[in-house]
Amino acid sequence: MKILVTGGLGFIGSHTVVELQNKGFEVVIIDDLSNSSEKVLDGIVAITGTKPTFEKFDLKEKSKVQDFFKRHSNIAGVIHFAASKAVGESVEKPLLYYENNIGTLVYLLQELSAMQKANFIFSSSCTVYGQADIMPITENAPVKEAESPYGNTKQMGEEIIRDTCKVVPALNAIALRYFNPMGAHPSAEIGELPIGVPQNLVPFITQAGVGLREQLSVFGGDYPTPDGTCIRDYIHVVDLAKAHVVALERLIGGNNSANYEVFNVGTGTGSSVLEAIKSFERVSGKKLNYKIVDRRPGDITTAYADTTKANTVLGWKAESTLDEAMKSAWDWEQKIRN
């Protein structure tokens, strides 16, 4: 079966390509390389022994999307990662985010709507919940007004897919709302490759550990949490990748209960920023130079998943601990710096 993975050379996309190929799927990647590198293909080949088909183009070019589906009329499913994803940048450049994240989604859905049967997995985010009132967060928690244009594109994306599924019965879709992906493949052949200053905590931690950053800033030490720092649900990227494959198999097998479903993907455990730092110090044997500074605008206090629905309905469960995920991130960081 042929599966299209958009943004398949990115962090989560590349790990999902590996898991798809491990399950015997034929993978076609579309990526414009705006936030990734073609060298990632070498890592995928080193792990799986198979080179996926790769096409470099920008999904904002509607005619190229149409041409792709003419040439690949036998696509059995699409996993859609391609999107801009930096919260801060989205505040500064909202129109770029709306064009890139919404326009490309619409072009893909237009092509899928014309097919006799289509399966679609959407890369959503726990940002749709904002600061949830109750922990852990279930899929029934209200979707709150987005804190950023990035978060808004995830909310709007889900609404667009849901509205399309209502009028296109042949389209089956699952939105995976994931929490905080981290880590790297245990082979250290692929991992997170942030361009410029990392937007996420873990690559900042590992870059500080390897000496690339003089000091790690911890944004806020006065939150109403046990140690005063923000709490997040850190999930190993390989566990997250496997969730995409399980979700896709659910749709292909016709086991979905509705043609639009939503699942939280996390570990169900909240860890504070300081706990993440301690995890790094445990697995690396290094002391981190960090400093607690002022809070950062837009940061919520606490977010971790209730994973009951994913565990029982989807039949997926996170397997890796925070330390295991952190160790893989550290192994990857050391490899790329050497």
Q: Check if the beta carbon of residue 39 is closer than 8 Å to that of residue 73.
A: no
Degrees to nearest 5, angle at CA 258 with 253 and 264: 90
Whether 190 maps to a domain, the answer reads no
Whether 195 maps to a domain, the answer reads no
Whether 196 maps to a domain, the answer reads no
Same-domain status, 274 and 258:
no
Q: Tell me, yes or no, if 97 is annotated catalytic.
A: no
Same-domain status, 301 and 259:
no
Whether 187 maps to a domain, the answer reads no
Whether 96 maps to a domain, the answer reads yes
DSSP bridge pairs for 176: 123, 263
Q: Look up residue 113 and give its amino acid.
A: S
Query: Residues 97, 107, 129, 150: which is the catalytic one?
Result: 150
Q: How many Å is the Cα radius of gyration of the chain?
A: 19
DSSP 285: -
pTM to 2 decimal places: 0.97
Same-domain status, 261 and 207:
no
CA distance 238 to 192: 12
| CATH number, domain containing residue 27 | 3.40.50.720
Whether 188 maps to a domain, the answer reads no
| CATH number, domain containing residue 304 | 3.90.25.10
Same-domain status, 104 and 159:
yes
pLDDT at 298: 76
Parent domain of 149: 2-182+234-265
CA distance 153 to 83: 9
pLDDT at 338: 83
Dig out the tokens for 258 from the structure: 């509705």
* Packing angle of the helix pair 104-113, 149-167 (nearest 10 deg): 10
Render each residue's pLDDT in the chain as its tens digit; 338 residues. 999 999 999 999 999 999 999 999 999 999 999 999 999 999 999 999 999 999 999 999 999 999 999 999 999 999 999 999 888 789 899 999 999 999 999 999 999 999 999 999 999 999 999 899 999 999 999 999 988 899 999 999 999 999 999 999 999 999 999 999 999 999 999 999 988 888 889 999 999 999 999 999 999 999 999 999 999 999 999 999 999 999 999 999 999 999 999 999 999 999 999 999 999 999 999 999 999 999 988 788 999 999 999 999 999 999 999 999 999 999 999 999 98
* Packing angle of the helix pair 40-48, 11-22 (nearest 10 deg): 20
Same-domain status, 273 and 249:
no
Same-domain status, 226 and 243:
no
Same-domain status, 86 and 121:
yes
Query: Helices (H) and strands (E) in the chain — how many of each?
Result: 12, 13
Residue whose structure tokens are 């949830």 = 132
Same-domain status, 66 and 211:
no
